[in-house]
Amino acid sequence: MLPVKLKLSSFAISLKFSPRRVEHIVAKKNSERSQNLAACSRDGVRVGAAQVEVRRYRTLAEYVEDMDRYVAKAVHAGAQIVAFPHGCGLLPIGITPYFDTLLEELQRVKDNSEELTALLLQLLDEFSSSLQEIFLTTFSALAKAYGVYIMAGSTYVLEGDKLYCRSYLLDENGLVLGTQDLLHRSPLEKALGVVPGEEIRVFDTKAGRVAILIGQDGRTLEPLRIARGMGAEIILSPSGSLTPRQESLADWGYKAAADALAVYIAAPVLSGTMGVRFCGRAACYGPLNITKERDGIVNQVICDDAGGLIVSRLNLEQLYAGFDAYTGDSNPEFIKTQLMSAYQKLTKRL
């Protein structure tokens, strides 16, 4: 019976969606196109990172209006780039009339990896095309309406018989400036047959040079180092962590990478519960010596179990100011109590 319901659900979504309908919903908001990009300067780039609370969207309008709410709030705070989390493209699946049945089935098989993989493959086969169209059309319309760059999180894309996890960067006219595929797959993504990306791309924008590293890619030093070496000044790292431990490790990883590589990292996340609980707080990280509290955090959402948004002001010129590892920081207590004795022991050996 489930395969029949999947077919009916996919058909129902296709009936409810059209690009014109999305554009009409956005137009009804009477959003005034911003001049944020006209005011863009390298010492004052503003980047928004959304903390999207997962919930069921029962209509196309609910989904579009909720995404609009995050963009509108970021633009009002001066954002020139607005970033959304990993998996954001799957959220419209709630529009299907059989969503509760699908959720129950996912709960039933969640501890059986083989059954879970088989069910997810069925879902992606039926829904990925429709969901991608809704996802991309929505963020394209919002980028055009507000006149800002939008990094539209990520979704799963079928190209022929190959499955990719892909993120999109849209320009201020709603056009796709570029895409980035996931490189480091989770065990589940490997089981699903997600094809890893083969390259890291850096995009030139009016707000600086931008790279996108999805999920684990943004918490792994090698991709971060490559992106920075290619000239990225802002790395957008859409995330969707499922455990508090993952959240904590990600926080420390972002801080260490931003400081070691002299780069800004903006991390939008999913939060809340829908079948599973998503942990994380949207944040922006930078080198220790140029963050206000010298802790590597430029800005961070306070609460990790609800929707939220931060807009961070980034000074790209400071990334190139240079940091002397020997004189840029000091430890008075170490100098007072241990430095001389350490040198005395060394000279005795010599």
Paired sense of beta strands 81-83 and 149-159, if any: parallel
Residue-wise pLDDT for 92-126, tens only, equals: 888 887 777 777 777 788 788 888 888 888 878 77
Instruction: Specify the DSSP element, H or E, that contains 131.
Output: helix 113-146
The pLDDT assigned to 100 comes to: 77
Mean pLDDT over 52-59 rounds to 91
Tally of CB atoms within 10 A around 29: 16
Asked whether residue 213 carries a pLDDT value surpassing 90, the answer given is yes
The pLDDT assigned to 103 comes to: 77
Rounded to whole angstroms, the Cα distance separating 104 from 106 reads: 5
Tally of CB atoms within 10 A around 149: 25
Rounded to whole angstroms, the Cα distance separating 256 from 254 reads: 6
Q: Answer yes or no: are the C-beta atoms of 184 and 151 closer than 8 Å.
A: no
SS3 348: helix
The pLDDT assigned to 118 comes to: 85
* Per-residue DSSP letter, 195: P
Domain residues of the chain, as ranges? Answer: 2-349
Local confidence band at 347 (pLDDT 50, 70, 90 cut-offs): low
Local confidence band at 214 (pLDDT 50, 70, 90 cut-offs): very high
The CATH class of the 2-349 domain is alpha beta
Both tokens of 28, joined, read 């009804």
Both tokens of 286, joined, read 């930078």
pTM here?
0.86
Q: Answer yes or no: are the C-beta atoms of 147 and 79 closer than 8 Å.
A: no
Nearest to 287 by CA among 318, 243, 324, 247: 318
Mean pLDDT over 84-94 rounds to 91
Rounded to whole angstroms, the Cα distance separating 117 from 189 reads: 9
Task: Return the bridge partners of 146, or none.
Answer: none
Return mean pLDDT, the chain: 86
Q: Answer yes or no: are the C-beta atoms of 195 and 202 closer than 8 Å.
A: no
User: How many angstroms separate the Cα of 282 from the Cα of each of 163, 168, 195, 208, 286?
Assistant: 27, 19, 27, 21, 14
The pLDDT assigned to 127 comes to: 79
Q: Answer yes or no: are the C-beta atoms of 101 and 62 closer than 8 Å.
A: no
Asked whether residue 346 carries a pLDDT value surpassing 60, the answer given is no
The pLDDT assigned to 211 comes to: 99
